[in-house]
Amino acid sequence: MTAAKPDANGVLYSHGGDEWIVAQLAEAMSLETHLRAQAITNRLAELKLPGVLEICPSNASYMVRVDPDAAHPAAIMERLRELADEVGDAHDIALHTRIVDIPVLFADEWTHEALMRFRDRHQTPDRTDLEFAAELNGYPDKDAFVQAIVGTPFIVSMIGFVPGLPWGYQLAPADRQIEVPKYVRPRTFTPERALGWGGGFSAIYPVDGAGGYQLFGRVATPMVDPTQRLYDFREEFTFPRPGDVHRYRSVDRAEYDATREAVENGTFRYRIREVEFVPADWFADPAATTGRLEGALDAD
């Protein structure tokens, strides 16, 4: 059997049983590749094609679920090829999204307790995850490392692993990208709302569970609300969306506790601004583009 090959647009399409189509845009993750996946899947969602049941963008690919009784998967695949032609490199296609303020208590007591329980599974049992990551990425100490995290916003490249878990790709040039390996062996416990990092991605664990990402802190705000009691969960019980821009902001224990109290009493609302992200602008001037995004969030 001849192995499938990417088409003229560099996309490798494959079927997953009768219902799923997977489109791999590249072997390696990059912001350019992800934004192209976002542009294609956004356009597909706008078309509302009969038979398209689910659309799932990812880091360097996307997946589409098709009802084969309503549309032939081969016909949908051909439409996807046309969309890839229309989108091209996606540099000039505006992403209409939202920037969200995400308060983080770095080096918090809960993730510290969890990571200390599993030092035998870590690359450096004598150091914390923050200390390890700071040294690995050439920062003089963990405080300078935290500043590098909060100094640039992140785009949510995909949701997965468990419902409501956002992967974040830092909107920073390649030479400033933070990268860390996962644990040598995964933990059997990670606290709810832990901010972790694996490879080139941040991640927020929405619920308690296992995990292997390095743990840096704890987010004050919820990623899931199964009761949909909070204002920002009126339409969905999960909050993050692919394409969101997250601005991590370091907070002290007093602000963290105040935010948690608002969540518990049902008065909490995310600080959100609707924004337009044009890839060409970012590629031309990353600092100015991220500054504009954050300026929209901080405006009165």
Task: Considering the domain delimited by 96-298, tell me its CATH architecture.
Answer: Beta Barrel (2.40)
pLDDT band of 123, cuts 50, 70, 90: very high
Residue 254, token pair as written in the block: 């007093």
Q: For 210-252, how does the pLDDT look when each residue is reduced to its tens digit (9 = 90+)?
A: 999 999 999 999 999 999 999 999 999 999 999 999 999 999 9
Res 300: pLDDT: 63
Cβ atoms of residues 21 and 13 within 8 Å: yes
Which is it for strands 209-211 and 61-66: parallel, antiparallel or unpaired?
unpaired
pLDDT in the model for residue 12: 94
pLDDT digits (tens, 9 = 90+) for 7-44: 877 899 999 888 999 999 998 888 899 999 999 999 99
The pLDDT of residue 27 is 87
Average pLDDT over residues 250-263: 98
* Listed range (9-18, 75-84, 142-151, 194-203) with the worst mean pLDDT: 9-18
The Cα–Cα gap between 49 and 76 comes to 9
Query: Is residue 87's pLDDT more than 60?
Result: yes
Looking at residues 167-172, what average pLDDT do you find?
94
Burial class (CB in 10 A: 0-12, 13-18, 19+), 80: buried
Helices and strands (DSSP H and E) totals, the chain? 8, 14
- C-alpha to C-alpha distance for 261 and 171, rounded to whole angstroms: 31
Task: Flag whether pLDDT at 2 surpasses 80.
Answer: no
- 57 neighbors 38 (Cβ within 8 angstroms): yes
Which long-range contacts does 123-128 make (Cβ < 8 Å, 24+ apart)? 123/181, 123/183, 123/184
Assessment of whether the complete model's pTM goes beyond 0.85:
yes
What letters, b where the CB count within 10 A reaches 16 and e where it falls short, cover 251-268?
beeeebeebbeebeeeeb
Q: Could you tell me what percent of the chain has a pLDDT over 90?
A: 87
Q: Do residues 296 and 153 make contact, with C-beta atoms less than 8 angstroms apart?
A: no
- The domain made up of 12-89 has a fold known as Gyrase A; domain 2 (3.30.1360)
Quick one: pLDDT at residue 7? 80
Local confidence band at 75 (pLDDT 50, 70, 90 cut-offs):
very high
Pairwise CA distance, residues 237 & 226, whole Å: 5
Whole-angstrom Cα distance, residue 39 to residue 218? 31
The mean-pLDDT minimum among 27-41, 118-132, 189-203, 225-239 falls in: 27-41
User: What is the CA angle 172-178-181, rounded to 5?
Assistant: 150
- Check pLDDT > 50 for residue 1: no
In the chain, what are the domain boundaries?
12-89, 96-298
* Average pLDDT, integer, range 271-285: 95
Q: What integer is the mean pLDDT of 61-74?
A: 94
pLDDT band at 206 (very low <50, low <70, confident <90, very high): very high
Give helix 129-136 / helix 142-150 axis angle, nearest 10°. 80
Distance CA 126, CA 162 (A): 31
Q: What is the CB neighbour count within 10 angstroms for residue 8?
A: 8
Distance from C-alpha of 238 to C-alpha of 16, rounded to nearest angstrom: 26
